A and B are shown apart, each in its own frame.
Chain A
Amino acid sequence: MAIERVETTALIQIKDLSRTYGEGPATVHALRGINLNIQQGEMVALMGPSGSGKSTLMNVLGLFDRATSGSYTLGGQDMTRLTGRQQANLRGRRIAFVFQGIHLLPRLTALSNVELPMSYARMSASQRKDAALNALRLLGVDQLKDRYPSQMSGGQAQRVAIARAIAPGPDLLLADEPTGALDRKSGTLVLEAFQSLHQETGVTIVIVTHDPYVAQHAERIIALEDGQVLSDTRVEERLIAHHEDEPSKGEQS
């Protein structure tokens, strides 16, 4: 992995990335030549109306989908040539997800839910439990560890879901409309949780949203339209200082 990391330290490098569905005249161009670099430790919002290609880009970033052409490297590693099994090995460990709905497994406790990606990673029971409790504490929901999802509020459940994503120590946290199912107040709490998580651990976060309010919580907003990057802007100076202070942080695996 380190051998290929000569050009830059960008965590994510995307070059001329295209994704089409179908063939001939019915071809749908979901992504038309995206070029994008995301640095280690950035907190980015990926914005755009539905049909803009943001979900497709998120699926490609999360190894849920493959690009038709172009390149995608994560931490210097080419992601376009991975086998299904290699993809699965990265998912949940180096790339973690927080989804729109409350995607906790209903018949597992908070703690078991948070341990799940680490048990798929074949980590030992004690390591799993330690990491899970740490993550729950980090999100301020460790007192909920023995509760089932049905015994939590929406905001609590989403914070448990973020704890689950963060527990294995991923390089990249992808969040797809993470506040979509929440009211504004709980949504704000969840967004603040993302921000403090970002400050404390320096994990790279990409939030996909159509909501400008949500996007305002990121450092950088990349707007997509019709499968292309429309704009790429920095939000404020207040958080940027953070990752420049610690340029080499991250890369925990």
Chain B
Amino acid sequence: MNTFAIAWDSIWHHRTRSFLTALGIIIGVFAVVTLTSLGSGVQQYVNQKFAGIGANLITVAPALPTSHSHSRHRSHPVGNGAAFQAVPSTLTAKDVHALDHSGTKALRSAAGVVTVPMLIAKGTTSSSAGIMGVSYPYYGMQRMTAKAGSLKGSGVVLGSSVAHDLFGKSSALGQHVTIGTKTFTVTGVLKSVSGAPGSDPNNTAYLPLSTAMALSNQTTVSEIILAASSAQNVNHAVTIANRILAKSHPSHNYRIITSQEILKTVTSTTSVITDFLAGIAGISLLVGGIGIMNIMLVTVSERFREIGIRKALGARDGDILVQFLTESVLLAVIGGAVGTILSGLATHILGKAVGIPAGLTVGSVATAVLFSIGVGAVFGVLPALRAARLMPAEALRTD
């Protein structure tokens, strides 16, 4: 009878007790694996979304000056358009033009964006849509294409849900809408797109940048989006943009955010949260391990006689140690396996429900296996040592 068979025999002999002991590990491993799997699912989801927007995009946003103090900017927020922003904008249409005509390959194009705080309506029917002014390259950067009309016209371009809200199934093209007090002709309708989290490009109406600035009486743009020729050229494009902007912004009152940076921030945030939750879940694994130690101590004292007989028959301390360690590790691994299977089911179902690509990963399964072996070994050592060090004479005297 080998060590494994002895261990299994003992576990099977005390089925109920073994199951309850393993339950601690099942719950612990389930919690750890589920949380890490969901965490990596969320991360994958975020990565996909960012890849969809384009890893080659760079945002230039206004910022407080870093080289000189311009106190007037702090106390006088500029007009309507910049009202949502903590920092007044200093970026102008000139900057957009200069960046869009950089003459370099790395910095392919630039688009200015302004937010227009007005409502769009058709007659008395108004819409909840947001209004943005964008220069033409913006559509390409966001992978927006026209379903009807053109994106280069001088009128308004409607997002798919705006068009539907205002015109139903009839064609919006050539129709008139009012934005604020002025009337515009619809010159384009966009195909439905999926956008970055937090914005809905389908529920937005787009005006040409200069039209929007004039309409809302703004002299600055909210931000400028730059497109590098590829994701690898982002850093090069940033250098070029800095050189161009340095001329008109000696106080460096802008900041450049690459989508890599945003991704990094989001990634590190989600991984901190995941680790934190997994750590809490790890506590339940610890509790499970203590359960194993407890039951193994009981097993050892129940089997004093058996240990004594085995030692009298020539079992070395190591033989006894291995026998009891095998039992605790086997118990933990069974718990770990069941926990992992349950976790696989749970993450699959949850992932489907929430719409993120969650499921067991090689990493999470490896973690679970190592964790349960580790827990079984660590918490089995004390009882196993106690068994191994038992003097055979003592063990046999307990008649």
Contact = CB atoms under 8 A, between A and B. Distances in A.
Interface of A: 59, 62, 64-65, 84-85, 88-93, 97, 99-101, 103, 105, 107-108, 112, 116-117, 119-121, 164
Contacts of A93: 314
B317 A62 contact: no
Contact of B313 (A59, A84, A100, A164): A164
B396 interface: yes
A91 B393 contact: no
Contact of A91 (B9, B312, B399): B312
B33 to A, nearest CB: 35
A105 B311 contact: no
Given A64-B391, A103-B309, A105-B306, A89 B314 contact: yes
B316 A89 contact: yes
Nearest to B1: A112
B314 A103 contact: no
A221 B192 CA distance: 105
Interface string B275-310: 000000000000000000000000000000110011
B370 interface: no
A88 B391 CA distance: 11
B316 A88 contact: yes
A91 B313 contact: yes
B312 A62 contact: yes
B305 A103 contact: yes
Contact of B314 (A65, A88, A101, A108): A88
B303 to A, nearest CB: 10
A108 B399 contact: no
6 contacts: A88-B317, A91-B312, A103-B396, A108-B1, A117-B313, A120-B310
B315 interface: yes
A65 B1 contact: no
Contacts of B261: none
B316 A116 contact: no
Given A91-B312, A107-B9, A65 B393 contact: yes
B13 interface: yes
- Of B312, B314, B315, B319, the most chain A CB neighbours within 10 A belong to B314
Interface centre among B305, B310, B313 (most CB of A within 10 A): B313
Chain B, interface residues (CB within 8 Å), range:
20 to 34
B288 to A, nearest CB: 27
B374 interface: no
A92 B391 CA distance: 15
A119 B310 CA distance: 11
Interface in B40-80: none
Interface in B203-234: none
Contact of A117 (B314, B316, B317, B393): B314
B121 to A, nearest CB: 85
Given A103-B396, A105-B306, A120 B313 contact: yes
Given A59-B393, A103-B309, A107-B9, A120 B317 contact: no
Contacts of B309: 99, 103, 105
A64 B312 CA distance: 8
A51 to B, nearest CB: 15
Given A64-B392, A100-B399, A117-B314, 15 more contacts: A62-B312, A64-B393, A84-B317, A88-B311, A88-B317, A89-B316, A90-B314, A92-B312, A92-B313, A97-B313, A103-B305, A107-B13, A116-B310, A117-B313, A120-B316
A88 B315 contact: yes
A116 B313 contact: yes
B237 to A, nearest CB: 71
A121 B1 contact: no
A181 to B, nearest CB: 9
5 interchain residue pairs of minimum CB distance: A92-B314, A64-B393, A117-B313, A92-B313, A120-B314
A100 to B, nearest CB: 7
Contacts of A116: 310, 313
